[in-house]
Amino acid sequence: MLVKWIRCAVTDRRGFERGQRKWAGLLGEPGFRGQGGGWSRNRPEVAHVLGFWESRAFYDSFMARSHDRLAAAQSGTYKNIQVKLFDHRFDVKTGFEPRFTEADTVRLAHCRVYPQREEHFALMQEKVWNPAMAGSPGMVRGLFGEAPGNEFLILSMWHSVAEHGKYQAERVERLSLRAQTESDIAGITGDIVQLEPSWTV
Q: Domain coordinates of the chain in residue numbers?
A: 2-196
3-state helix, strand, coil in the chain (%, to 5): 35, 40, 25
Burial 92-111 (b: 16+ CB within 10 A, else e): bbeebebebeebbbbbbbbb
pLDDT at 197: 96
Report the C-alpha gap between 168 and 17 in whole angstroms: 30
pLDDT at 57: 98
pLDDT at 103: 96
Number of Cβ within a 10 Å radius of residue 155: 24
Q: Cβ(47)–Cβ(78) under 8 Å?
A: yes
pLDDT at 55: 98
CATH class of 2-196: alpha beta
Q: Cβ(42)–Cβ(54) under 8 Å?
A: no
Ordered DSSP codes for 23-76: GGGGTT-TTEEEEEEEEESS-TTEEEEEEEES-HHHHHHHHHHTHHHHHGGGTT
Q: Dihedral angle at the C-alpha atoms of 55, 130, 38, 96, nearest 10 degrees?
A: 40
Beta 139-147 vs 151-158: how paired, if at all?
A: antiparallel
Written as tens digits, the pLDDT of the chain (201 aa) is 999 999 999 999 999 999 999 999 999 999 999 999 999 999 999 999 999 999 999 999 999 999 999 999 999 999 999 999 999 999 998 889 999 989 999 999 999 999 999 999 999 999 999 999 999 999 999 999 999 999 999 999 999 999 999 999 999 999 999 999 999 999 999 999 999 999 999
Number of Cβ within a 10 Å radius of residue 130: 20
Q: Cβ(47)–Cβ(37) under 8 Å?
A: yes
Please state the pTM of the whole predicted model.
0.95
Among 135, 154, 159, which residue's Cα sits nearest to residue 91? 154
